[in-house]
Amino acid sequence: MENNGTPKGLPPNAYKELGPDEKYAPIVGPAEQIREVTARSVTIGVLMSALFSAAAAYLGLKIGQVFEAAIPIAILAVGFSPLFKRRSTILENVIIQSIGAASGVIVAGAIFVLPALYILGLDKMAGFTKVFFAAFFGGALGILFLIPLRRYFCAQQHGKLPFPEATATTEVLVAGEKGGAQARVLATAMAVGGAYDFLVSAMHTWKETFSTEFIPAMSTVTHKARAVFSFNVGAAVMGLGYIIGVRYAAIICAGSFLSWFVFVPLLGWLGNYTMLPVPPEVHGTQLATMGADQIFGTYVRLIGIGGIFAAGVVGILKNSKVITSSFTVGLKEIFRGKQDGPVEQKERTDRDMKMATTLILSGIFLIAIWVFFRFFVVSSQKNPLTLSLIALAVVALIAFLFTPVAARAIAIVGVNPVSGMTLMTLIVSSLILVAAGLKGRDGMLAALLIGGVVCSSLSMAGGFITDLKIGYWIGATPRNQQMWKFLGTLVAAAAVSGVIIVLNKTYGFAPDRPERLVAPQANAMAAVISTFMSESPVPWALYGIGAAIALLMEMMEIPSLAFALGMYIPLSLNTPILAGAIIAWFVKRGAANESLASKRHERGVLIASGFIAGGALMGVVGALIKFLGYNIDLGIDRHGWANYLSVIMFAVLTLYVIFEARRADKLSQPEPEEASK
């Protein structure tokens, strides 16, 4: 029976933990048969993947501004629907979003690492083929390694993990389908949040980040003690915090406070008493002359990376039963020809790709990766078989083990620490390759391509769990999302590889090019590779401190990954997350009953989702305007008082959220006539 979908909202338990006998019923039920994978949804999804991959790579490398593609694609999918004679169903829009969203994750995986090939002068050794295969193989592994974990993250962890990005995208798709009051609330919030973020980030009408560094009375503390408090006043970041909730936001901020108010001042103080270079040494710069931001970026962030790595290892050990059981099901299917029940008998909304197919495809791609390294990367070395097997082992092991870490990070805070995990991959692969006798330019090429595959894999794992959670909430068929994600990944990998090569020829990434592009993450990766391949001192102590802190958090039963993410992410992005969470708590506080508190929260989540969507969309618009050469910078943020204006504007935004969310009180009251009855 064909049905374009009954306009329904998310059920009351969409964001809550389920009781022992409670089940979640998606918007489109398992028995409903509506259009999902069609020529329209696939074609539009592929076009979105190509367009946003090229745009995100181009803008991300040229102006240093990377935007989130998933939410704008969802908005466009909803917006295009009325243009057709038959409106797209909500499940067609899910497929469009899922295919198109491959763009953002593949771009992030590629531009964080692969431009380092050109920064290190490996132009002639790196061509389109190497860049393309590194991005595509990594993306494919990310999809395959995540499939067995879908039920765990989407169903078993339902209500336990906030999934802020998935929440915002789902609200966009649902509001577009449902229309009415819910769509108006979301559209208004998108307009308010988008206009607010555009004024602050593109037009610089007030400072985007409030900082005590710009307060004259605080100069002694900020410059001498290196104790700087900063706060991003953006609407989108506050929206993330609203959805994340107080518990995780507080833990994340606690990690950030440790980094910025303990480690940064401590290292700044240490610099006053030593003139010796402290690894990793910044040539020409003494520790004593560094500001708080430079100390954090050079030293303290490495502590965060060590914490993320250790928290990831702990998470792998804690989830080892889940990982093992997920793949055991696939092995049973291969060798015994059966599963927990035939795939055909499973409900449509719980139907993944066959586990046997997943494992076979994983094997095929791993063989392809070995062929890639054996015949395209290390073929000229004395021991190509050994080196290619080492490359395969590093890629397979790290990508497999850290897939759940990337997925959990996205589910907690909406930020994938893929650059930190890739940095650890480069360190591990460099150590092993150097021990195997591969150094110099050939060693740097191999290590960077290993890092490129792993980075793309972990980036895809983090992004794809968002797509699958969206599908879980709405009622899509997971198998369709999984199968067609490969097509989006293929298109995205081709697009981003071409853009990287064109940009290198046009502008360049190397320091000696006068118009070189920013590529900050790739420059960091290049510096790490140079350090290891030249056998310079390695800051093991900093990594070890972070690992010890993560283990201590686990002993105290505090989520170590959330705490480590706080140590790694800049303070200015963590403080508004805590503010957003506190606003969410305040909105529910004082409600007459639990039902009213829930309605306030649901309306607040819709507003927060609008802020995230509006901020993401206007981020794209602002980047395009800047790229086209139009100067819309008012420059007001350069005035000292603009620092205080940012606080006032954030306070206004906060009052808007509280007022709008608490309007649920009036809307939930019955009409006078109805009440009299």
Mean pLDDT to the nearest integer, 602-612 = 81
Q: Are 52 and 46 in contact (CB under 8 A)?
A: no
In angstroms, the CA 187 to CA 427 distance is 46
Q: What is the pLDDT of residue 155?
A: 87
- Cβ atoms within 10 Å, residue 100: 30
**DSSP string spanning 364-414?**
HHHHHHHHHIIIIISTTSS-HHHHHHHHHHHHHHHHHHHHHHHHHHHHHHS
User: Contact, 288 vs 271, CB < 8 A?
Assistant: yes
Cβ neighbours of residue 126 under 8 Å, at least 6 residues apart?
114, 117, 118, 445
Instruction: Render pLDDT for 453-492 as a digit per residue (tens, 0 to 9).
Output: 888 898 898 889 999 999 999 999 999 999 999 999 999 9
Q: Is the pLDDT of residue 165 over 90?
A: no
Cα gap 636→617, rounded to integer Å: 23
**For range 372-390, the mean pLDDT:** 86
Of 358, 398, 362, 373, the closest CA to residue 141 belongs to 362
Residue of higher predicted confidence among 111 and 373: 373
Percentage above 70 pLDDT, the chain: 82
At 412, the pLDDT band (50, 70, 90 cuts) reads confident
Burial class (CB in 10 A: 0-12, 13-18, 19+), 342: exposed
* Per-residue pLDDT at 183 exceeds 70: no
Q: What is the pLDDT of residue 672?
A: 47
Q: Out of 34-48, 65-79, 460-474, which region has the weakest mean confidence (pLDDT)?
A: 65-79
Q: Which residue has the higher pLDDT, 63 or 23?
A: 23
CB-based contact 181:666 (threshold 8 Å): no
Contact 97, 73 (CB under 8 A): yes
Average pLDDT (178-202) is 80
- Highest mean pLDDT, choosing among 40-49, 107-116, 184-193, 281-290: 40-49
Q: To the nearest whole number, what is the mean pLDDT of the chain? A: 80
d(CA 429, CA 382): 18
- Answer with the residue of higher pLDDT: 182 or 372: 372
pLDDT of 187 higher than 90: no
Token pair 């994978």 is found at 37
Q: What six digits make up the tokens of 182?
A: 């819910």
Instruction: Give the bridge partners for 231, in sequence order.
Output: 210
pLDDT at 677 over 80: no
Alpha-carbon torsion, ordered 510, 416, 191, 52, to 10 deg: 50
Q: How confident is the model at residue 428 (pLDDT cuts 50, 70, 90)?
A: confident
* pLDDT attached to residue 530: 72
CA-CA distances (angstroms) from residue 554 to 279, 306, 512, 528?
A: 28, 14, 46, 29
What is the spatial distance between Cα 60 and Cα 112, in angstroms, rounded to a whole number?
Answer: 10
- Looking at per-residue confidence, does 21 or 552 come out higher? 552
Mean pLDDT across the stretch 97-116?
82
Confidence of residue 329 (pLDDT cuts 50, 70, 90): low
Instruction: Annotate 581-610 with b (16+ C-beta within 10 A) or e (fewer).
Output: bbbbeebbeebeeeebbbbbbbbbbbbbbb
Break the chain down into helix, strand, coil percent, rounded to 5: 75, 0, 25
| Peptide linkage before 537 cis (omega within 30 of 0) | no
If one compares 426 and 210, the residue with the highest pLDDT of the two is 210
